[in-house]
């Protein structure tokens, strides 16, 4: 099938569980070699989408190709051409590190003459030289995670799917894991990764935001921050930021205030930043705050996502907006 240099092509992909629509008409493409982030809150439909793309779950509507193979009819071909690290790593805790690798080498039918080399590659990549004979159960989360990734790519697939690979591991291990992702990507491997960490979204070449089964934005981190943001964000530095937040919350023109680091992010309508900045400053000063800075900033991805999700909620359920 001609997929024009695309590792993944998805058209109106849908998954219903009974009357519930977990993935609702999602369409996108992932060029070869890209790090593609699939971002969304819990229950958004990320894992269900991945399970359809990896040939584990059949779609109830739409379709697509992965590595050029049809997700509806060529699941076995897809499985042979991808690596998949599921949300729960599937390592055997009672086996040693080497035994786990040997087990997966068997599953993936790595030719006998290549097994040793691939095993050493995984051990080195995961930094497990000292632990090759350790029982997997005693390893820290970060090591298990790198071992899982290694096992998932023993057969050198051109595309890997990682479902929340860094959930629950410490920040240093997350950073090391992302170094591995970059390394794979630099060798031309396409990486499809789900996450709900905003900092990780920043590391991706492109991001799709999925919410309640629907794709609500897609683009590079830069594009999302500049094109999709329908609102302006001010950064406000003052004393007593908590109190300032309460003070600003009810101010006309302010759509949202949130604590961000030591300061505040104040969201207002696009194009109103200057006027809003003046209002914010005079309001705070009028109430006895020492304001050191009010400045329009490039929004963070978190600002963009909160804004898009809230806009979607407002559009979906205006009649349900009950205030108490
Ligand atoms: P995410 O990975 O983004 O957290 P999931 O794809 O796991 O979300 O789930 C999306 C929605 O579909 C959730 O509401 C979940 O409860 C529901 N869901 C997932 N799998 C099934 C299933 N086998 N049967 C019924 N509902 C399911
Ligand atoms: Mg999930």
Q: Which of 163, 190, 220 is at the close of a domain? A: 220
Q: Which atom of ligand 1 is nearest to the CA of 210?
A: 3
pLDDT at 167: 83
Q: Which atom of ligand 1 is nearest to the CA of 23?
A: 10
Cα torsion for 28, 270, 273, 299, to the nearest 10°?
A: -10
Atom 14 of ligand 1: nearest residue by CA position: 43
| Residue-wise DSSP of 296-321 | EEPPPHHHHHHHHHHHHHHHH-GGG-
Residue with tokens 């999709």: 228
| Residue 108, in any domain of the structure | yes
β-pairing, 159-163 with 69-70?
Answer: unpaired
Atom 21 of ligand 1: nearest residue by CA position: 17
- Considering the domain architecture, whether residues 52 and 71 belong to the same structural domain is answered as yes
CB of 130 closer than 8 Å to CB of 170: no
Q: What's the gap in Å between 89 CA and the centre of ligand 2?
A: 13
Q: Which of 177, 196, 220 is at the close of a domain? A: 220
| Residue 315, in any domain of the structure | no
- Number of domains the chain contains: 2
Q: What's the gap in Å between 196 CA and the centre of ligand 2?
A: 10
Measure CA of the first residue to CA of the last residue in the chain; give whole Å. 56
- Considering the domain architecture, whether residues 18 and 78 belong to the same structural domain is answered as yes
Tell me the whole-structure pTM to 2 decimals: 0.86
The 10 Å Cβ neighbour count of residue 184 is: 19
For residue range 235-273, what is the model confidence (pLDDT) as tens digits? 999 999 999 999 999 999 998 898 988 899 999 988 889
Residues linked to residue 30 through DSSP beta bridges, in sequence order: 8
pLDDT at 317: 66
Q: What's the gap in Å between 43 CA and the centre of ligand 1?
A: 6
Which residues lie with the beta carbon below 6 Å from any ligand 1 atom?
A: 17, 20, 22, 40, 42-48
Across residues 90-117, what is the average pLDDT?
94
Atom 13 of ligand 1: nearest residue by CA position: 43
pLDDT bin (cut points 50, 70, 90) of residue 309 is confident
State the residue range of the domain holding 258. Answer: 230-298
Q: Which atom of ligand 1 is nearest to the CA of 163?
A: 2
| Residue-wise DSSP of 247-313 | HHHTSTT--EEEEETTEEEEEEETT-HHHHHHHHHHHHHHTT--EEEEEEEPPPHHHHHHHHHHHHH
For residue range 149-177, what is the model confidence (pLDDT) as tens digits? 999 999 999 999 999 998 888 888 899 89
- Considering the domain architecture, whether residues 206 and 278 belong to the same structural domain is answered as no
Looking at all shown ligands, the one closest to residue 210's CA atom is 1
pLDDT at 320: 47
SS (H, E, C) 156-218: CCCEEEEECCCCCCCHHHHHHHHHHHHHHHHCCCEEEEEECCHHHHHCCCEEEEEECCEEEEE
Q: What's the gap in Å between 208 CA and the centre of ligand 2?
A: 15
- Considering the domain architecture, whether residues 64 and 41 belong to the same structural domain is answered as yes
How many whole angstroms separate alpha carbon 124 and alpha carbon 318? 55
The 10 Å Cβ neighbour count of residue 86 is: 18
The pair of structure tokens assigned to 59 is 């779609």
Residues linked to residue 31 through DSSP beta bridges, in sequence order: 6
- Considering the domain architecture, whether residues 255 and 213 belong to the same structural domain is answered as no
- Considering the domain architecture, whether residues 125 and 236 belong to the same structural domain is answered as no
Residue with tokens 């009010």: 294
**CATH code at 143?**
3.40.50.300
CB of 175 closer than 8 Å to CB of 19: no
């Amino acid at each position: 099938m001609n997929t024009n240099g695309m590792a993944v092509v998805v058209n109106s992909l849908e998954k219903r569980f009974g009357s519930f629509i977990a993935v609702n008409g999602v369409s996108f493409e992932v060029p070869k070699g890209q790090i593609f982030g699939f971002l969304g809150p819990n229950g958004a439909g990320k894992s269900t989408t991945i399970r359809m793309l990896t040939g584990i779950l059949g779609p109830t509507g739409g379709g697509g190709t992965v590595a050029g193979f049809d997700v509806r009819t060529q699941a076995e071909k897809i499985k042979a051409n991808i690596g998949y690290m599921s949300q729960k790593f599937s390592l055997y805790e009672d086996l040693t590190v080497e035994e786990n690798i040997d087990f997966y080498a068997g599953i993936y039918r790595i030719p006998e003459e290549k097994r040793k080399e691939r095993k050493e590659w995984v051990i080195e990549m995961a930094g497990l030289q000292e632990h090759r004979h350790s029982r997997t159960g005693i390893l820290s989360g970060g090591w298990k995670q790198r071992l899982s990734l290694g096992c998932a790519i023993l057969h050198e697939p051109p595309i890997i799917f990682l479902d929340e690979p860094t959930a629950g591991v410490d920040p240093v291990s997350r950073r090391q894991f992302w170094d591995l992702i970059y390394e794979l990507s630099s060798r031309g491997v396409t990486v499809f990764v789900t996450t709900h960490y905003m900092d990780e979204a920043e590391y991706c070449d492109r991001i799709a935001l999925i919410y309640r089964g629907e794709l609500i934005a897609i683009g590079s981190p830069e594009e999302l921050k500049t094109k999709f943001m329908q609102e302006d964000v001010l950064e406000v530095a003052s004393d007593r930021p908590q109190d300032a937040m309460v003070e600003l919350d009810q101010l006309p023109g302010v759509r949202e205030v949130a604590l961000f680091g030591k300061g505040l992010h104040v969201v207002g309508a696009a194009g109103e930043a200057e006027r809003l900045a003046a209002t914010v400053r005079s309001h705070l000063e009028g109430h006895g705050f020492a304001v050191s800075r009010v400045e329009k900033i490039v929004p963070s991805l978190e600002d963009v996502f909160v804004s898009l999700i809230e806009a979607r909620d407002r559009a979906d359920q205006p009649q349900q907006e009950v205030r108490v």
